[in-house]
Every structure is written in C-alpha cells, then in structure tokens.
Amino acid sequence: MYNLSGKTILVTGGTGSFGKKFIRKVLQSDVKKVIVFSRDELKQYEMAQEFTDSRMRFFIGDVRDRERLYRAFDGVDVVIHAAALKHVGACEYNPFEAVKTNIHGAQNIIEAAIDRGVERVIALSTDKAASPVNLYGATKLASDKLFVAANSYAGDKNTRFAVVRYGNVVGSRGSVVPFFKRIKETGVVPITDERMTRFWITLDKGVQFVLDNLERMHGGEIFVPKIPSMKVTDLAEAIAPECKMEIVGIRPGEKLHEAMITEDDARKTLEYDTYYVIQPEFPWWREDYSNGGKPLEDNFKYTSDTNTEWLTVDELRALVEEV
C-alpha cells in the first residue's frame, strides 16, 4: 500500500458512503491529517460526532468553487475525488447541474492540485462512463478524460492523476439494496427488466482498490477491478424472497447491462490477476506494468452480462446482510 505516513489526505465528497469507509481505513495508518471537503454542513457535523480523531479536519466547500479548492488544497499531498452528482434520474432532469459538478468540478480539482503541488490524485469513476447512455455516464466519461489528460497538462510539475472505475457498490446511499429492503413491506418488488445485470463490489473492496492504486499509479491510468456480476432478479430474491416481482420497464438512461471496458478501450488495456489497466495514449507513455500484465484478445469487452464470475442468491444474501 502507498506509504501514507506523514501525508495529508483530502477527500472530496468525504461524507458519502465511500468517503466514510475510506477515511476510517486511512486513520489506521500514521497519516498526518485527513480533510473532508463537502458542501453539506449537517453531514459534516454528524460525521464529526462519529469521527473524533484529532487528525480530522472538515472543510465546507463545493468542487464548483475553484478558489475554495485552492484554499483547501494548501499543504495537501493526496486527493481522492469522490464528489459527484450521480443519481441517474436527477442528472437527466438537471443536466447542466451534473455538467457543472462532474465536469467543471473535475477541471477545478485538476487546476488546484497542480498549482498547489498535490502529489497524487485519484478520481472515482463508474461503469456508466463506458459507452454512456445517460448524462451521468457522459459527464463521468468527460471527467475521466480530463483526469487522464491532466498528466500532460501538469507539464514539469510532479502532480500525477489516475482514475479508478468500478460498478455498483453494495448498500451505498441511493443504491437498490436499501430501496428493496424498504419496499419489500408492500409485498411487491419492482424490477425494471428481468434480464438486467450489474457489476457488484463491496465498499471494503472499493476502498482497498483505491489504496492499492495510489501505489501502482504512474499517472494517466484507468484502473478496473475484476469483480462479480449479479442478476437483478437474484438480488430481489435474496432480499425479498416472499415478494412478487413486478416488471415495470427500463427507466430513462438505464442499460440492460453495464460495461467497464469497451472493445475500443481493450486494445490499450493490460490484464492482471485481479484487475485491468486501461493505459493512456500519451506520446511519452512507457508501459511499466510488464510484471504479469498481458494484452487482451481482439474484440474483448468487459461487460456485466459476459462476465465469468457471478454471485449466487445465497452469496448476495450474505453480502446484503452485512450492510
């Protein structure tokens, strides 16, 4: 794991599900300071009651506000960018708000990190950024492109940027798990399409993957973990076996199946035992992952319906019970 000893870490969107889990893990190390940067003072107040470590700091601000980021990044060594507007329906209904947070906010992070001398930045992405069909995915694709290109934009500065892309997180705020748990009291669970599949990852594994890639990154990579898929009908069966499933139709901006590596991205992707690396197309890039990395076959794609690893109903039930 990247040596965090004596480092100051800032997490944008730090009051969210990922932020809390990540910070709890980081505080187990000899980190100097952890800064939560977010715009909701109530969530920060509540988090401060839970996280009483003297190394914690809370900074109210919005990634849309570049000047505030410049102040927040002063003396920061590592930035984990987890802030985003990510609810698909809300982004479809408020499109330019998503653009301002997910795209303009990404560029503000980049500018502030370079000018303040931040060493490493990892931005969290989503499977919806691969071949996007909704605005949320499109804004995150643009964000990914910005963070990859930022390594050239930084010039001779030492700041390096990378992206971590993974699928649905078990039990995160706004996910289908708490929704199914709540709705099952009615005796009916709505299913958009019985064929639907999704990638699935736990918060613990998502956090560890980010920490692992803080050490691996050279700058410009998109890291993709190998994670299992699940059928939405199996998830409903795991959470509410006694309920009737009602097919309600796919909502605006939804896919039947998600992708994390497209056929076009696969041409520049290396495979490792537990993850993939989508390499940047920089003139100066020299692949330095020769210890075990191998190119992918022609026409390869990493999608939730063609995945080789699947969660059973019992495995899903065990995961859900831990949430």
Positions marked active-site: 128
Instruction: Fill in the DSSP letter of residue 148.
Output: H
Quick check: 70 and 114 in contact, CB under 8 A?
no
SS (H, E, C) 152-192: HHCCCCCCEEEEECCCEECCCCCCHHHHHHHHHHHCEEEEC
Terminal Cα distance for the chain, rounded: 26
Distance CA 144, CA 140 (A): 6
Place of tokens 């102040």: 71
H-helix or E-strand spanning residue 12: strand 8-12
Query: How far is C-alpha 205 from the chain's CA centre?
Result: 12
- Max Cα distance, the chain (Å): 61
The total of other beta-carbon atoms located within 10 Å of residue 29's CB is 17
Distance CA 232, CA 256 (A): 10
Question: CA dihedral defined by 99, 102, 108, 110, rounded to 10 degrees?
Answer: -130
Distance CA 203, CA 213 (A): 15
Both tokens assigned to 244: 């009737």
CB under 8 A, 24+ apart: contacts of 254-257: 254/88, 254/133, 254/134, 254/192, 255/128, 255/133, 256/193, 256/195, 256/196, 256/197, 256/305, 257/196, 257/197, 257/198, 257/303, 257/304, 257/305
Place of tokens 């990859």: 148
